[in-house]
Chains A and B, each alone.
Chain A
């Protein structure tokens, strides 16, 4: 099936009434959980993804999953702009100039600009994805266990070094996540490990209790301990969303630049949605004739990063489809939901399951369209939702989280684990540790172990062969080394040069 046929086939799957309904419901649920302050994208997605398990057909389930993903990623920006409570790193940038604009009475137009920008970025990136994904899947076929081992290890290392907050702040939660992943039946011979005779534990610890506990409940504990959010309580009506001509004119170039940056960065390992938003903000600031006005409410500081953020979220679907590797915590949940639907993403997906592969691609177009269609009439509802009193919000979310954790396996064990990970997440975050590596450790641990053991078996136990046996693995390791060691080396050299200059001056 060539690309155009595939896309048409995918669209024919996606426009079936049940699938349009699924996309609609997914985007709505995703936006709802993304908007709720204190829940955040990861915990929100973790809570609503189990709802897709009630759907029978895997295509419909996956279209809904994709809808939840886009909805949640976008919903986070609304909260960030109106309340300055970014639910995750990727929406931090939106809060910088967006919140200032909202405070100056431009809340509606800013949301209008981000909606259009996200739509433009999503659609353009979807076109890129359509034409690149099949080619990348072909490349992905050349990846054996050794190459995948290099890629997964590499992406975890890159994440740990670029996420910020110091090395230990990332390594400790990553290690804990990997430890959690070893609990239960091991992936090769199904021997139970670290279960202490508990039958339920032998199934392993799922992502939902970990993500909802460490991100959701822990966040609520922070919310009730601190100051209350002081958002703009202004009403936003549909006609308020229309930006001025000047605002649109100033946003077109940032939208396009942001899309380019985001679409490219989304293909690479690492927290690409957040990185691309920051990169776009920096780019817009350095191009601007009035860089000093950034941070006080410049529309370019919102339109660029929001387009970049959405483009990166869209193109980061590609590594999932073609390699089966998620590069962010939300995508890790998306991947695990796909696996529960009986779909094993990877390079073989395009040939084994063209319905799913092209269905997902088509759902990117559908999801982005839904986002605009839903956002415009719903904006008033979202804004009102944001002014829900904190005590009602926190109480409701806890009750919802308990049901969410229980419903995945109908098991109390998951509810107990939810509380354990909430406590762990609260303590770790209090002392500045990052939570994303924890989730990725849990999600990627089983893959890492399988690739390592299969890789060793294929290389007949030779570690050098495992690491450098093929040109692909060698290239991956070199790129990872450059990414991990590059920035610190440059910083070290710069500091040394400055040191030399200073000493010669003396």
Chain B
């Protein structure tokens, strides 16, 4: 990516973040307005959220103005591309799958699966090594945290 493109995507990205945060703050303010504001002497639960929502909306506007006027132009954004992008997306998808399957399949099964996939994806070695590594990390984690320290992780399929 060229320097100019990088600066351009930085500005666009920050503008997008600003717009998203602005929309979020308005939705939040709308929700907050349904709470009771109370009186000046006895402020209700709505007072602080309204102030915070207003502050967030202001921060979002500052972001939009800065992006529009190109104030933060000295910062260049380093978006992942090529193999880096594949690795980021791969890891992110594996983490999401890990967390979603955790309550169903249980800690030990999902941890072994996640570690195997992640080792294969990031390490680039053979599946055999990834499976051995996955089993080692998964079982070790389970022994230390679930069996020894007594963290009650979801059991799922295997009750070890």
Contact = CB atoms under 8 A, between A and B. Distances in A.
Contact of A168 (B39, B44, B66): B66
5 contacts: A224-B88, A403-B153, A415-B102, A428-B17, A452-B48
Nearest to B154: A412
B145 A398 contact: no
Contact of A179 (B28, B35, B92): B28
A194 B92 CA distance: 27
B55 A175 contact: yes
Interface in B87-132: 87-88, 91-92, 95-96, 98-99, 102-103, 107, 111, 114-115, 118-119, 121-124
A399 B111 contact: yes
Given A224-B122, A391-B123, A175 B13 contact: no
Contacts of B137: 392, 395-396, 399
Contacts of A17: none
Given A174-B59, A390-B122, A412-B154, A402 B17 contact: no
Contact of B62 (A51, A168, A178, A445): A168
Contacts of B102: 402, 412, 415
A225 B151 contact: no
Interface in A276-293: none
Nearest to B52: A178
B114 A399 contact: yes
A392 B17 contact: no
Interface in A410-463: 410, 412, 415-416, 418-419, 422-423, 427-428, 430-433, 445, 448-449, 452-453, 456-457, 460-462
Contacts of B133: 392, 395
A11 to B, nearest CB: 30
Contacts of A445: 52
A182 B52 contact: yes
Contacts of A8: none
Given A217-B95, A432-B75, A191 B45 contact: yes
Contacts of A412: 102-103, 154
Interface string B45-74: 101110111011011101100100001100
Contacts of A407: 145, 151
Nearest to A168: B63
Contact of B52 (A175, A394, A418, A432): A175
Interface in A444-485: 445, 448-449, 452-453, 456-457, 460-462
A172 B15 CA distance: 12
A32 B116 CA distance: 24
Interface string B22-46: 0001001001100100011111110
B17 A453 contact: no
B61 to A, nearest CB: 9
Interface string A129-143: 000000000000000
A399 B62 contact: no
A461 B95 CA distance: 49
Given A175-B52, A176-B56, A419 B95 contact: yes
Nearest to B60: A172
A400 B84 CA distance: 23
Contacts of B48: 182, 186, 448-449, 452-453
Contact of B118 (A395, A428, A462): A395
Given A395-B118, A396-B137, A453-B48, A166 B66 contact: yes
A76 to B, nearest CB: 22
Given A182-B49, A186-B45, A410-B151, 6 more contacts: A171-B63, A221-B91, A224-B122, A394-B118, A399-B138, A400-B141
Given A171-B59, A399-B138, A412-B102, A166 B80 contact: no
A391 B72 contact: no
Contacts of B40: 456, 460-462
Contacts of B98: 398, 402
Contacts of B21: 172, 175-176
B62 A167 contact: yes
Interface in B2-26: 10, 13-14, 17-18, 21, 25
Contacts of A410: 151-152
A165 interface: yes
Nearest to B55: A175
Given A427-B17, A457-B42, A460-B41, A419 B118 contact: no
B149 A54 contact: yes
Contacts of A197: none
B87 A431 contact: no
B77 A456 contact: no
B78 to A, nearest CB: 7
B143 interface: no
A179 B56 contact: yes
B122 A391 contact: yes
A220 B121 CA distance: 14
A199 interface: no
A179 B51 CA distance: 10
Please provide the 7 A-B residue pairs with the shortest distance between their CB atoms, ordered closest to farther. Answer: A461-B40, A175-B56, A391-B122, A171-B59, A225-B80, A391-B123, A168-B63
